[in-house]
Chains A and B, each alone.
Chain A
Amino acid sequence: GENVEQHPSTLSVQEGDSAVIKCTYSDSASNYFPWYKQELGKGPQLIIDIRSNVGEKKDQRIAVTLNKTAKHFSLHITETQPEDSAVYFCAAGSSASKIIFGSGTRLSIRP
Chain B
Amino acid sequence: DTEVTQTPKHLVMGMTNKKSLKCEQHMGHRAMYWYKQKAKKPPELMFVYSYEKLSINESVPSRFSPECPNSSLLNLHLHALQPEDSALYLCASSQAGDEQFFGPGTRLTVL
Residues of A within 8 A of B (CB): 32, 34, 36, 41-46, 49, 89, 93, 95-99, 101-104
Contacts and interface: CB of A to CB of B under 8 A. Distances in A.
Contact of A97 (B40, B90, B94): B94
- Tell me the interface secondary structure of chain A in the complex: strand
Interface residues of B, number: 25
B42 A103 contact: yes
Contacts of A36: 102
Contacts of A89: 42-43
B91 to A, nearest CB: 8
Contacts of B100: 34, 46, 99
A89 B76 CA distance: 25
Interface of B: 4, 31, 33, 40-43, 45, 48, 50, 55-56, 90, 92, 94, 96-105
A61 to B, nearest CB: 21
Nearest to B32: A97
Interface centre among A32, A34, A96, A104 (most CB of B within 10 A): A96
Given A43-B104, A44-B90, A99 B40 contact: no
A104 B48 contact: no
A44 B55 contact: no
B103 A43 contact: yes
A97 B56 contact: yes
A55 B40 CA distance: 30
Contacts of B31: 96-97
Given A44-B90, A104-B40, A97 B102 contact: no
